[in-house]
Structure 1
């Protein structure tokens, strides 16, 4: 399904059931205890804090993405249990600045997001790829074997490293940011997973 079509369906469903989503019973009936994630994009920050707090109380391992209209609400949503908080006014301003300061990067990101191709950007937790531990990126040869391009490596202690060198050795708790097809990501999981 095209991402824009999926977004339209989600927005339509959200508008119809926004008030229902605020009840603990409705969240339980929706299978929140088995869910991997929840997106809370209600119209007010107070409503999003309430849903986030309720959902995180029902499922502590839930990946919750919540919307904040005001930048000052972001810390409150994180304290309520949101994994990520999206603030459209801030994102819009950052995007405009990015288009002015780094037009090529902004264009590339736009192509990746709006393309009909299967190209995606994904974060891969290396704890799931034990056969890759200790190997350098050149030894891994992801572009040749899977068609994936490593954009960044994130290590908990050292932070993100954009455009890592070929001699970078992967460690168990690294996260790879890759771009490529979903089939390439599956192939990487098969080659280097357990």
Structure 2
């Protein structure tokens, strides 16, 4: 049923000529039943052969009123047929059918997504977010209202929804109930704030990352439900200053934070039991390096072998896909 409703949504333009023919069949059938006293089947058959102009004989001889009614039906049918051919030709030649078919295909693909990321806004920040997600093979949906998807992108956007990210309808269309995270990169803080409120209401468990342009908006976005609030201008300025102070370190950290392949990954894993790092000896047993531990909202960087991790704490580790898989089994 839902699939049929989506078909109607994308191809509703074809309903106009089709509805015209249905109405014509209804009027013709009712007219013959009233004027000629035909039963329903004979009246419908007479209407079909008249509209179809096949030239079959009448069901029974027509009265003068019946002939006039038949003539009117034929004249209306000629006009309706001309309109249908013109409309269908324009619908196909203008590329509208192809566009609607592509939208339907993309809509079906979005409905199949699960554990994906929604990127709201496709400006400079949104484009960069989508690029990183694409390079790391993380499925994502771009939700944008004001611009169409650019043709000359250095990466492929498989899922694109044109709509207002602050509305329930657009977020549900993007699959927010099945998504793992949503990123708000719209330039206006008020739009991001409203989107965060809407997203948190629709999916209480989703991770929400929001952009902020002003310091005064950071706390408001957190109160609204954002897990993290990023100020691009501050991060950009700090990164440029770091490039002057420790250029190679800054470049390496930037590479580590954006690169994610089978040979190199940085991931966080949750400890299922309490154990001392020296006893765990993650480097020897898996080949992974522990970069830090998140405990009760605080980060412990470069922990020593005497440090004990508690159940539920998060370890930030670095290694290959195979090494990280072994580390997850150990921890």
TM-score (norm 1): 0.81
Contact in 1 for aligned 2:143/2:164 (Cα 8 Å): no
User: Deviation at 1:12?
Assistant: 6.4
In the alignment, the residues of structure 2 paired with residue 12 and residue 160 of structure 1 have an alpha-carbon distance, to the nearest angstrom, of 32
Q: Does 1:160 align with 2:304?
A: no
In the alignment, the residues of structure 2 paired with residue 59 and residue 10 of structure 1 have an alpha-carbon distance, to the nearest angstrom, of 17
| Match runs of 1:46-85 below 5 Å | 46-85=190-229
Structure exhibiting the larger radius of gyration computed from Cα positions = 2
Contact in 1 for aligned 2:182/2:207 (Cα 8 Å): yes
| Other-structure match for 2:58 | none
Q: Which runs of no fewer than 5 residues in structure 2 stay unpaired?
A: 1-129, 149-160
In the alignment, the residues of structure 1 paired with residue 300 and residue 142 of structure 2 have an alpha-carbon distance, to the nearest angstrom, of 38
Aligned to 1:20, what secondary structure does the other structure show? coil
User: Deviation at 1:5?
Assistant: 7.3
Aligned to 2:175, what secondary structure does the other structure show? coil
In the alignment, the residues of structure 2 paired with residue 25 and residue 73 of structure 1 have an alpha-carbon distance, to the nearest angstrom, of 25
Report the count of equivalent residues: 184
Q: Does 1:187 align with 2:331?
A: no
Between 1 and 2, higher relative CO (CA 8 Å, sep ≥ 6) is seen in 1
Q: Which runs of no fewer than 5 residues in structure 1 stay unpaired?
A: none
C-alpha RMSD over aligned residues: 2.7
Contact in 2 for aligned 1:152/1:164 (Cα 8 Å): yes
| Other-structure match for 2:189 | 45
Instruction: Specify which of 264, 267, 274 is matched with residue 122 of structure 1.
Output: 267
Q: Does 1:6 align with 2:134?
A: yes
| Other-structure match for 2:291 | 151
| Match runs of 1:88-127 below 5 Å | 88-115=232-259, 117-118=261-262, 119-126=264-271
Aligned to 2:178, what secondary structure does the other structure show? coil
User: Deviation at 1:90?
Assistant: 0.7
User: Deviation at 1:184?
Assistant: 2.2
| Other-structure match for 1:175 | 314
In the alignment, the residues of structure 2 paired with residue 11 and residue 43 of structure 1 have an alpha-carbon distance, to the nearest angstrom, of 18
| Other-structure match for 1:136 | 276
TM-score (norm 2): 0.50
